[in-house]
Amino acid sequence: MSTSEVTKPRNKVKNTREKILDAAAALFSRQGYNGTALRDIAAALDMKAGSLYYHFDSKEQLVLEILKLGLENIINTVITRVNALPEGSTTEEVLIEAAKGHLTALLEKGDYTSTSIRNYGQMPAAVQEEGRGIRDKYENMWRKWLVAAQKRGDIDASVDLKILRLSLLGSLNRTLAWYSPGEKTIDEIAEIQVGFFWNGIKAR
């Protein structure tokens, strides 16, 4: 058997696997993990439910892969935006660019990322535990930026950085619930949200 003959079946399996992931991510994003059964995913692809088991051992394995892909998407998008900043950029510029990357991953790059945010609490404990390492990696990026900023005196020493980090990321994630394309751009929303934390809302 030639190399091309071997490659074709492998590519077909890979393409089918990707289609299953795409369909599952779309359904999990809209209906939630608990509200989506394997038969729903199969029906969306015009497949038999049993055929899914050729590619994934369980619903848990399927959502774990989506979770990992979604979280890695956020990390890579944020890192790309922040690394593109010129050397010597301010803390505010870093946070704004990181927020822009976060929202871009959430709002523009599909159902994988929104599934990893919206469904995390519904996922089985074993799936949450396996995904926690990637979540911690991402939160540690923000923690590092904020700690460095506080040491430089850019953030007041009295500010609780954990609460600041969780509040800012929570605000960005909540955008999924109300964002409507065509009003403000993703970049504008990121600038406004970081501005609330950085500059406050009290009239001067």
**Percent of the chain scored above 70 by pLDDT?**
93
Q: Rounded to whole angstroms, how far apart are CA atoms 85 and 94?
A: 8
What global pTM score does this model have?
A: 0.85
Q: How many domains does the chain have?
A: 1
Residue bearing tokens 């091309």: 4
Confidence category of residue 7, pLDDT binned at 50, 70, 90: low
Domain of residue 77 covers 59-199
Determine the straight-line distance between the first and last CA of the chain, rounded to whole angstroms. Answer: 76
The answer to whether position 133 is within a domain reads yes
Asked whether residue 125 is domain-assigned, the answer is yes
- Does the residue 39 lie in any domain? no
**Is the pLDDT confidence value at 196 over 50?**
yes
| SS3 call for 5 | helix
Q: pLDDT-based confidence at 6, cuts 50/70/90?
A: very low
Cβ atoms of 107 and 179 within 8 Å: the answer is yes
Distance of CA 91 to the CA centre of its chain: 23
Task: Concatenate the DSSP letters of all residues of 83-134 into one string.
Answer: HTSPTT--HHHHHHHHHHHHHHHHHTS-HHHHHHHHSGGGS-HHHHHHHHHH
Domain of 178, CATH number, reads 1.10.357.10
Q: Is position 41 within any domain?
A: no
In a domain, 113, yes or no: yes
Instruction: Determine, yes or no, domain membership for 68.
Output: yes
User: Is residue 13 situated within a structural domain?
Assistant: no
pLDDT tens digits for 89-138?
999 999 999 999 999 999 887 788 888 888 888 899 999 998 898 899 99
- Please determine, for residue 204, whether its predicted confidence score (pLDDT) is greater than 90: no
> In the structure, what pLDDT confidence band is assigned to residue 81 with cuts at 50, 70 and 90?
very high
Which of 91, 82, 74, 68 lies closest to 153, judged by CA?
91
Indicate the average pLDDT of the chain.
89
Q: Is residue 16 part of a domain?
A: no
